[in-house]
Structure 1
């Protein structure tokens, strides 16, 4: 179970951006989070994955705090994949930094062997995003925070990416948080949706179509 308890965050000497957020996500569940630009959606994603330290409250997986070293059980996937990779590393090394995916999973995400010899700048945004999503699915990962990961992709790439992630998550009972402005996408993917506004999460719908 991924849980937050009265999670709050503010920048130095600033007004809290997020205040007293509590949520629970079970393995295999999909939760959608929407909200206006600047509402703190990406900040929440970073807190859930340990990229940021909360000002108050905690994030726990199965009752234990997130580890500070090694592979974290919660992985955050940003909208811009080039920000999540070392531009001086070839794609093969970027993947192997986390794990060596099986050929069947490489094929499911449409990743070609030739890409592994290239640098990130030689891939398109959609190609690099597929690599970053696959890298985040290493053994030991229990939850994934997908932060607008398909916003900049063409419709065909969007569909194939979500289909591959959905199939893998179902097979391995991964919990997935989908952060998006696209309510139609959230309706298709998520069990429940929450809206972030004024620093607080409010439930907007539940019992939606299961992923």
Structure 2
């Protein structure tokens, strides 16, 4: 379980953005998170991934304090893949930074062999996002924070990306937190949904899980 307990966080001398917030994500579970711009959704995602440290409270991954260095079991994926890609590395090096995905998995994500020798700047935003998502799904990862990762994609590519992510998530029993403004997307993907406002979470009661539908 990824477990945030009574988290408080603010930037510099500003009032806390998050106040005494608690959230738990089980392995194999899909949770949705919505909220207005500036509410702190991405900040919470970074805290859960160990990229920021809470001013108060604790975050545990599988009953152990979340590490701030090294390969973490929680990976945060931003909306803009350029933030996660070294522009000086070719795509093959990017992919193999943490692990080298098999060809079958690259095909699931629509990654073409000719991309491997190219630099990130030569790929479209959607193409680079596929690379960055797959890179984050190394075998040691147990939780994924997907922060608006399909916002820039066309509807067909969105479906293809989420189908590929779900396939890996089911195989590796990943817990997935989907951050999005798209209520319909969250309703299709997630078994539970939360809304972040004024530093606290509230449950959205109309969420419906699509993961277990046949």
TM over 0.5: yes
Q: Which residue pairs with 1:188 in the alignment?
A: 188
Structure 1 unmatched runs, 5+: none
Q: Alpha-carbon deviation of 1:210? A: 4.1
Please list the CA deviations of residues 133-163 of structure 1 after superposition, one character each: whole Å capped at 9, or x if unmatched.
0000001100000000011111111110001
Matched residue, 1:19: 19
Aligned to 2:152: 152
CA distance in 1, matches of 2:158, 2:42: 20
SS in 2 for 1:166: helix
Offset of 1:59 from its aligned partner?
1.0
In the TM superposition, residue 206 of structure 1 has moved relative to its aligned partner by 6.6
Aligned pairs, number: 211
Runs of 4+ in 1 over 6 A off after TM superposition: none
CA distance in 2, matches of 1:172, 1:185: 22
> For 1:192 and 1:29, how far apart are their aligned partners in 2?
9
Contact persistence 1:191–1:206 (CA under 8 A) = no
Q: Is the 8 A contact 2:187 2:210 kept in 1?
A: no
Aligned residues of 1:84 and 1:132 also touching (Cα < 8 A): yes
Q: CA deviation at 1:208?
A: 2.1
Instruction: Work out the CA distance in 1 between the residues paired with 2:187 and 2:157.
Output: 19
- CA apart distance, 1:12: 1.1
Match of 1:76 in 2: 76
Q: In the TM superposition, what is the alpha-carbon distance from 1:205 to its structure 2 partner?
A: 2.2
Gaps of 5+ in 2: none
Q: Give the whole-Å Cα distance in 2 for the aligned partners of 1:25 and 1:53.
A: 18
The farther-off stretch of 30-39 and 89-98 is: 89-98
In structure 1, C-alpha distance between the alignment counterparts of 2:133 and 2:108, rounded to whole Å: 12
Counterpart of 1:139 in 2: which secondary structure? coil
2:119 equivalent to 1:119? yes
Work out the CA distance in 2 between the residues paired with 1:208 and 1:7. Answer: 27
Report what 2:205 is aligned to: 205
Residue 79 of structure 1 contacts residue 148 of structure 1 at CA under 8 Å; is this kept in 2?
Answer: yes
